[in-house]
Amino acid sequence: YEALMALWGRYFTCIAPDTPGFGQSDPLPGTPEIVDFADALGEFTRALGLKRCAAYGFHSGGIILVTALKRRTLDLSCLAVG
């Protein structure tokens, strides 16, 4: 994602959160499902004060974003999934 963020960063503020339990993030409790990750993403964006944003997700990140969009936990201006 570094190359994309460097390119897009010329025009946008780019944020690349870890999926809970991956990278350096704390895991969600129990055995989380995709909807739990989608809800956590909505909480994350609200904590940052983001009201509407564009999003890109690859693989499981794309599934999480589509789920968040369907559950209306995110207000997206556009979505790209790879």
Is residue 8 pLDDT above 90, yes or no? Answer: yes
Q: Return the pLDDT at 7.
A: 96
pLDDT, tens only, 13-71 = 999 999 999 999 999 999 999 999 999 999 999 999 998 999 999 999 999 999 999 99
Pick from 47, 3, 67: which is nearest to 79 by CA? 67
pTM of structure: 0.91
* Helix (H), strand (E) at residue 60: helix 60-71
Q: Return the pLDDT at 70.
A: 95
Angle at CA of residue 31, ends 19 and 29, nearest 5°: 70
Bridge partners of 74? none
Residue 72 to residue 59: CA distance in whole angstroms: 20
